[in-house]
Amino acid sequence: MDILMAAFLALYLGSAGLVSSLPCPPCRCQVFKNGTMQMNCINTNLTEIPSPPKTGKHKYKLSVYFIGNRLPVLTKKIMTPLQTHQNLYYLSLRRNGIRQISCDAFQSLDMLYGLDISDNNVTNTSLEKSFWGLRNHTSLRLNISSMGLHVSDDFFHHLQNIPDLNITMRNNSLSEIPHTAMKVLRHLSYLDLGRNDFSDIKLPENYTLWTYELRLDNNKFRKFPNFCILNSSRSQFPNLKRLHFKYNKMEDLNSGYYDCLHSLTHLYLDGSPLRILRRNQFARLPKLYLISLAYVGCAMDKIEGFVFNNTALKHIDFHKNHIWINEHNLTMFHGCTSLESLNLEDNILQKMTQNDFDQLFKDLHFLMYLTIGRGGLYYIPRVITSSLTKLRELELYGNGIPSWEDGRLDNLTRLEKLHMRNNRITVITQRSFPEHFIKGAMSLDFSHNIFSCTCNLLWFVEWMKSNEKIISYLSDYRCESPHFLKGTGLLNLTLSENKCLLSQNERIITLAAGGILIVFLVVGAVMYRYRWHIRYFIYMVRYSQRQEVDTREYEYDAFVAYSAADRQWVIRNMLPVLEGYENLKLCVHDRDFEVGKLIVDNIIDAIETSRKIVIVLSNEFAISDWCLFELNLIQRHVLENGQRLLVVVMLEEIDTRHVTKAMRAMLQTTTYLMWGEEEYARKAFFDRMKMILRRQEQN
């Protein structure tokens, strides 16, 4: 504690502005610009209080820190050195082994504003009587923590008429305070009962306290105490603005117990093992400005929608909860239309999609401060840069963000601070930041990223060197690659613009040559991959150019010649598309040949009455005698009536052993359609088939 006190004093001295030091051994006395003087007698083993140094005509406000000494009894006589100073403002007598205090010990300290007698072993009776000397004060800040107190009915009797009274009673193992003791504290403006053993606060019915700040942290509350007067919307703390309820044992919040706190502006519920946050949990607190719910997520089972629905709410602290934010709780911030600050540090957002983030931040258009540290992000959510345009500070540290596209942050025209340390960022260019941020940034932290120290980083390195004052942790900006620069500080790099321009030209030439080679390879691969489609296209162009008008009437649009083994392919693939969707009429021997008629006559009639002839060529077709006979009849008809009548479908590659002279001649003089199992190949096949078989009136 003494180390903390020394640190506090050092901070205070630095902020107040030291003017001079005065001799007052063995203590230290100092005067400050704000018109105050301090006498620090900490751990000096004194047995009496020394007199403050004389300051002539100057009347400084005096603060005395007499801490960690030996002063078992405190009387008016012992306090005499301080009574001579008319402006004694603050007195700390903490940890001096005090056991007895006389009733008049503080009687003549009329200007005393703050009194700290904590960490002493004063008896309850002696302490109660010592308050008599403080009874006429108009304002008093009294600290009686860590004293093993037992509060009697008359404990605060002498303090009841102080108009502005603050009492701190931390760490006293208190589990209750008598009603009669509380009744006299109607003017109590601040009460700190933290680190005690309270499990409930019970005040007399219809009794009110005008306290504006109440601290009940680190007690044993298993449920939220009822601050509302029974059967009424009025509160027993009608002026309460700040309520500290951190680190208790509550698993649930009954909003009916605090909805009556109409003046409440700050609510701290950190560290409570809450299992559920309900819809409109804080909606009926009309002046709620800040809510802190950190360290509550370990046992959290459910977060309902519109939990923080309150248009007055400006700040939400929801960090260190390790809650998975997903589709079940994306609406918890809906209704927070005035929110300015949101801290989501150490929650889990790694499975969130862009649409999920759109939903989560849907109502937060006035947000100015956003923290998502260690959230598992791998990109900057779109909604942040497109909708949260009033952001001044954005903290996305400790994630896995590698980069973002140029101009992504341009909409954040008010951005002043950007902290993205401990990500996976390799390169930062001038287009990574908005122009206004480059010129007017107040704080930047990109330390502990994995920078690639190439010419692409030249601009950032130069910008860092000219803006060192706004960049945090300069020594932690180091190269990760290339390997020969690993560990080198960015400020120590020897990149030059001329060198980078030279290497850039070399890269351009190399890339151009490589690009041309890749284009040739890709074009060649595409032409090989789609060689049949290209052949089909060329054929169809030629076909359309030489197509003659045929005015004859035909019974069928096409006669289909196929082997028995390919019957299922014709029925399942060809007929549903050409007859079902294209309304063409095909002649297939299994269905359309006349029963009882010679097969040869049926084939000749089908050829004569069909506008086109389709041969479904396969290995089974090539080894079938009937199919080869059918092929000869077709070829004779084609020779007499023109090659345009014939359409050849190649179901598979034909084994050269099965290819006859007639078949080879047909394949050499006729462009055929190749069937493929892929979806794109099927579509190309039928597109060309439909073009070939369409009727003249469709042209």
* Higher local confidence (pLDDT), 656 or 313: 313
Residue 680: band (very low, low, confident or very high) from pLDDT cuts 50, 70, 90: confident
653 and 591, same structural domain? yes
Cβ atoms of residues 437 and 409 within 8 Å: yes
* Higher local confidence (pLDDT), 643 or 77: 77
Cβ atoms of residues 227 and 260 within 8 Å: yes
Q: How many CA atoms lie within 13 A of 146 on its CB side?
A: 12
DSSP H helical ranges for 200-247: none
Mean pLDDT score of the chain, rounded to an integer?
88
In a domain, 143, yes or no: yes
Residue 629: band (very low, low, confident or very high) from pLDDT cuts 50, 70, 90: confident
- What single string gives the DSSP state of each residue in 54-111? P-TT--PEEEEEEESS--SEE-TTTTHHHHT-TTEEEEE-TTS---EE-TTTTTT-TT
* Higher local confidence (pLDDT), 496 or 674: 674
Specify the pTM: 0.70
Window from 82-86, 163-167, 216-220, 576-580 with minimum mean pLDDT: 82-86
Window from 443-447, 665-669, 694-698 with minimum mean pLDDT: 694-698
In a domain, 152, yes or no: yes
Cβ atoms of residues 680 and 533 within 8 Å: no
501 and 447, same structural domain? no
Residue 66: band (very low, low, confident or very high) from pLDDT cuts 50, 70, 90: very high
Domain boundary among 195, 230, 245: 195
Which run of H or E residues covers position 140? strand 139-143
**What is the structure's pLDDT at 463?**
93
490 and 505, same structural domain? no
Secondary-structure breakdown of the chain: helix, strand, coil percentages, each rounded to the nearest 5: 30, 15, 50
Window from 88-97, 187-196, 202-211, 584-593 with minimum mean pLDDT: 202-211
632 and 485, same structural domain? no
- What single string gives the DSSP state of each residue in 474-494? GGG-BEEESGGGTT-BGGG--
574 and 677, same structural domain? yes
**What is the structure's pLDDT at 4?**
45
**What is the structure's pLDDT at 507?**
61
**What is the structure's pLDDT at 551?**
63
Q: Which residues, including other chains, have CB under 8 Å from residue 645's CB and lie 6 or more apart?
A: 611, 612, 613, 637, 638
24 and 159, same structural domain? yes
Domain boundary among 175, 195, 215: 195
28 and 176, same structural domain? yes
pLDDT beyond 70 at 54: yes
pLDDT tens string 428-446 = 999 999 999 999 899 999 9
In a domain, 439, yes or no: yes
Residue 31: band (very low, low, confident or very high) from pLDDT cuts 50, 70, 90: very high
pLDDT beyond 60 at 259: yes
The domain of 447 spans: 402-494
CATH code, domain with 69: 3.80.10.10
**What is the structure's pLDDT at 699?**
39
Window from 9-23, 329-343, 393-407 with minimum mean pLDDT: 9-23
Query: Which among 158, 199, 155, 161 is positioned nearest to 179, based on CA atoms?
Result: 155
CATH code, domain with 597: 3.40.50.10140
**What is the structure's pLDDT at 684?**
82
pLDDT beyond 70 at 523: yes
pLDDT beyond 90 at 164: yes
Residue 8: band (very low, low, confident or very high) from pLDDT cuts 50, 70, 90: very low
In a domain, 210, yes or no: no
- What single string gives the DSSP state of each residue in 260-279? T-TT--EEE-TT----EE-T
| 3-state DSSP assignment of residue 431 | helix
Q: Highest mean pLDDT range out of 227-231, 447-451, 538-542?
A: 447-451
Count of domains observed in the chain: 4
In a domain, 504, yes or no: yes
Mean pLDDT across the stretch 644-670? 83
Q: What is the CA radius of gyration of the chain?
A: 45
Mean pLDDT across the stretch 130-143? 95
686 and 637, same structural domain? yes
Q: Highest mean pLDDT range out of 360-374, 451-465, 562-576?
A: 360-374
Domain boundary among 450, 467, 494: 494
Residue 15: band (very low, low, confident or very high) from pLDDT cuts 50, 70, 90: low
175 and 35, same structural domain? yes
Residue 529: band (very low, low, confident or very high) from pLDDT cuts 50, 70, 90: low
Q: Strand (E) positions, 555-683?
A: 556-561, 586-588, 610-617, 646-650, 672-674
Query: Which among 499, 407, 402, 490 is positioned nearest to 455, based on CA atoms?
Result: 499
In a domain, 23, yes or no: yes
pLDDT tens string 180-196 = 898 888 889 999 999 99
Residue 3: band (very low, low, confident or very high) from pLDDT cuts 50, 70, 90: very low
**What is the structure's pLDDT at 264?**
98
Cβ atoms of residues 120 and 95 within 8 Å: yes
pLDDT beyond 90 at 690: no
489 and 501, same structural domain? no
**What is the structure's pLDDT at 6?**
46
Residue 524: band (very low, low, confident or very high) from pLDDT cuts 50, 70, 90: confident
113 and 20, same structural domain? yes
In a domain, 358, yes or no: no
59 and 175, same structural domain? yes
In a domain, 225, yes or no: no
**What is the structure's pLDDT at 151?**
94
Helices (H) and strands (E) in the chain, counts: 18, 30
**What is the structure's pLDDT at 256?**
93
pLDDT beyond 80 at 621: yes
